Structure 1
Amino acid sequence: MLKHFFWILAAATLLTSFAQAYPRIGDKVQWKGSLQLKSGDSSPVHITKEVVSYDEATKKWRVKYVASVGDKITTEFIETADLYSPEKHKKMISGCLDQGGKLEDVATSIGKYQTCKLTTQTASGMTVDKWWGDIPFGVVSRNTRDSAEVETPDLNAIARDL
C-alpha cells in the first residue's frame, strides 16, 4: 500500500515574463519525485503536462499528460476549457485561508513562490497536500500519504519550458 507519494518539479529554464503569459500553447511543467511503499521499496515518478493546442471554436485547451512510475508509462490527452492562470492564482492566494488553506512561501533551487497549501482527503482515505503557486497548471508540489503523519516534500526545483 502507498505510504508516501510526492512530486517535485524538475529544473529547467525560468523566464520572469512567463508567469504572466500562461496558459498558452507550449506551456510545459514537469514534476519529479518518488513513490514509496510500506515495504520500503521506492520507484521514481516523473509527470509532464504540456499544452499542445487550443481550439478557438470550442474554446478548449488540449493537454498532453505523460506519467511514468517505475517502468510503467501512461500517456493521455485531456481537453479542458479551464486551465490555471495568473488570475486564478491571485484568487487562490486571496481566498486561501477561507478555503482552509495555509499561505506558505516555497523556496526551490531556482526561485521562491508564494503558495496556498490545501489539504484534502481522497475517497480511499489518502491525505493529499498541494502547494498552489503562480506557474502553469498551478501545482508547485504535491504530497500524498495514507497515515496521519505530516511530511513536507523537499522541493528542489521548478520546471517551466516554452
Structure 2
Amino acid sequence: MTAESVLGTRRTPLTGTVFGLDAPALRMSETPYRSLVEVRGGRPATPVDGHVWGLGPRWWLVDGPPPEVPALEVPLAAELGGVDVSGQRTALVLSGEHALTVMAHGCPVDLEVVAVGGAVQGLLAGCQVVVGRVGEQEWRCYVRASFARHLAAWLTDAASEYA
C-alpha cells in the first residue's frame, strides 16, 4: 500500500457532515490532520504554519502542519519529545466578527479576555475543548474526535442567524 493510498482512505471526525460556513461575518471550517503534540517542560518552538498553546504550567499543545507521509506517530512528536494526540482531536476554525458571539452562547469561559496567542481549556456546548485565539477575530477550537460531530452540529445551529 502506498503513502498516497493510505492518505486517500483517511477520514476526519466530520466526514459526511455538513459542517462549514462561509458568510461575510462568520466563517467556520474543520482543519483536519494537523500534527497535534502535547509537550511537558519548557515552551517549545512554534512550528512553521503552527501554534503553541499553553495548557498549564509547563504544559503545551503544539499545533503543526499535517505530516507529509503517514506514520504511526507524527514526526513532530519525536522532534519535540512530546506525545502525539493528533488522532484524538480535530481542529475547528471560527473567524469573523461573529465568531466570538457564536462560541459565547455555549462557553462559560469569557473568551473575550483571552489574548491573541493565548488559549483556555473548558467546555463548549458540553464538550471538553482547547480554544486558542489566533487573531482578533480568529479562533481554533480543538475538540476530541468523539465529540466533534456534536460540537459541529451545535456550532452550525448557533451560527444559523449569521448564515
TM range (shorter): under 0.3
Report the TM-score, using the length of structure 1 for normalisation.
Answer: 0.26
TM-score when normalising by structure 2: 0.26
The structure whose residues are more often helix, as a share, is 2
